[in-house]
Structure formats: C-alpha cells, structure tokens
Amino acid sequence: MNLIISSEADSASINLRDRLLEMSEWEENGTFDGRKMWNLTKNYGAFCKKGTQLITIAKLHIYAEEIDRDWEKQNGEKINNIVFLSRHKAASGRPSLTVHPIGNWGDAEYGGKKGEISGVAPEWMTGLLLKIKENRISGYDVCFEATHHGPLLETPTMFLEIGSSETEWEKHEPAKALIKSLLELESAKGINVIGIGGGHYTPRFTEAAFSHEVCFGHMVANYGVNVLTSELIEKAIKTSGAEGIYFHKKGMKKTDYRMWNEWAENNKIKVYNQSDYKKRDL
C-alpha cells in the first residue's frame, strides 16, 4: 500500500491534493490527524493502485517525523512508499517541477536529524521524473533535486514539488501535470545508483536518467560532499538498494573525486560510467 501526504501548511501541497481528488476516484476512509483520509477506489498506474491512501496533516510536512510509524500504528497496515505533495522554493524563482529524496548529510536545519537519511525507491522516483518530463508544460524545468531536508522516515519516500515561487504554487496547470504523472507512474528500468557531485539541481544525474537506463536513489550535491563520511555513503547505498556510485566527476573538486573514488575502489563498490548503462527507449 502506498501513501500520499499533503500539508495544510503548504498552499502548493493543497493545490496538488485537490487536483488529485479531482483527477482520480476516491472515497472517504476515516480520519488521520483529525482530517479526512481517502482511499483510491480504482487502479491507475503501477504506483497508484486501488487502496492507495491519501491524508492531510496540519504541520509542515518536512517536520512530520516518523509519520510512517504513526500511520501504521493507527491503521495496522504496512506502507510500501510515501509521496509528499509539496511546494518548491528557490531564489531564482524559475518555474520548476521536481522530485527528490529526503535526508540530511550535515545539519538538520529543515526537519529530520543531523547526518540521517530516509528510505528511497530509485525505480519509482526515476519513473516519476520520466513521467513529469513526458507531461511537462511549456516554461517549466523538470529535474531531480539532491537529497535534502526532513522528515526522517524508514519508508522509501520522495517529495513531488511545484515551484519555484508563490506565483506557481496555486496554479492548476502545473499541478495537473504533476498529478497526471503520479497517476500514470510506472517503475523505471535501470541500474540503481547513488549520485555524488554537482549542483543541487543535479543536471548530470537528471540528464543521465533521461537518456540511459539508470535509476537514482540518494544524491549528494557538492555542499553535502563536504560533510560526507564513509558511514553515510554506505547508508545511502543501502537505503537506495544501489549497486554502486555514479560521480558527476566534472562537477566536483578533483580532490573530492579522487578521495571518494579511491574509497569506493578500496571497499569494492562499483563506480559506474554512463557507458555502463543501456540507452533509454522513451
């Protein structure tokens, strides 16, 4: 069973939730956090199957620590995957449709815990990126973001976001594009990897996922590389079900690349090049 979560503290999240209720068939199914809970009554894509649950919470979602445990305790059912519906905010204000894993490589300024990362399902997250590209609307960037912010959860989780400014948060057209992508979501083909290096918007990893059969789990932007530890990389590989690492070599300091590439070699962790992946047939 998959769980979709919206937050009353986020206008984009409520916009996305309302489009989801409009574009698919749901029935009320009790309450959670004092608010209506919804049950999907028919199958859509491979992710949004009959029985998928939709809830709304009062607090901002990045602070919803252990909500997976709370929901499972109340409902007595195991959650397989979680999608948070969310706004995306960036100083550039550039219209964007993004998806990303969650966790903190360093300090936990926005939810979660310091040096702790949540579960992630690379095949679903990459599949969602591909669907967003397929359903994209003119004027909007489509990309992964690197792993950042809370909450900290054991369940594989991804944030689905509309941004990058308040202007986009309540628009119906981009929200519908994201919800259409979620409803049509299929698992992507490819080798599971973690990505290390480059900027927050992971241009190399996004491009690789579009062009080749590779599925990204946790991604570490350069600001996270500065605080990486062996234990964190091992945890990222484990929680991503990854077969190895894909470096954005040209997007990193040479010293960082050499250090972590050597670490991978010494620990018998495969380092992938793009030539290792099959071309993606879109």
Q: DSSP states of 213-235 as a string?
A: SEEEEEEE-HHHHTT--HHHHHH
CATH of the domain at 151: 3.40.630.50
pLDDT tens digits for range 158-197: 999 999 999 999 999 999 999 999 999 999 999 999 999 9
Please give the tally of structural domains in the chain: 1
> Helix, strand, coil proportions of the chain in percent (round to 5)?
35, 25, 40
Q: Is residue 121 part of a domain?
A: yes
Q: Is residue 244 part of a domain?
A: yes
Q: Is residue 238 part of a domain?
A: yes
Give me the helix-helix angle, 11-23 and 172-183, nearest 10°.
60
Q: Is residue 282 part of a domain?
A: no
Q: Is residue 44 part of a domain?
A: yes
Give me the helix-helix angle, 254-266 and 230-240, nearest 10°.
70
Q: How far apart are CA 101 and CA 23, in angstroms?
A: 25
Q: Which domain holds residue 42?
A: 2-276
Q: Is residue 240 part of a domain?
A: yes
Phi-psi region of 168 (alpha: psi -120 to 50; beta: other; left: phi over 0): alpha
Q: Is residue 281 part of a domain?
A: no
pTM for this entry: 0.98
pLDDT at 6: 98
Q: How far apart are CA 209 and CA 134, in angstroms?
A: 13
pLDDT in tens, the chain (282 residues): 999 999 999 999 999 999 999 999 999 999 999 999 999 999 999 999 999 999 999 999 999 999 999 999 999 999 999 999 999 998 788 999 999 999 999 999 999 999 999 999 999 999 999 999 999 999 999 999 999 999 999 999 999 999 999 999 999 999 999 999 999 999 999 999 999 999 999 999 999 999 999 999 999 999 999 999 999 999 999 999 999 999 999 999 999 999 999 999 999 999 999 999 999 987
Cβ atoms of 82 and 156 closer than 8 Å:
yes
- Which amino acid is located at 94 in the chain? R
pLDDT at 58: 98
Query: What are the Cα distances from residue 255, in Å, to 250, 252, 258?
Result: 12, 8, 5
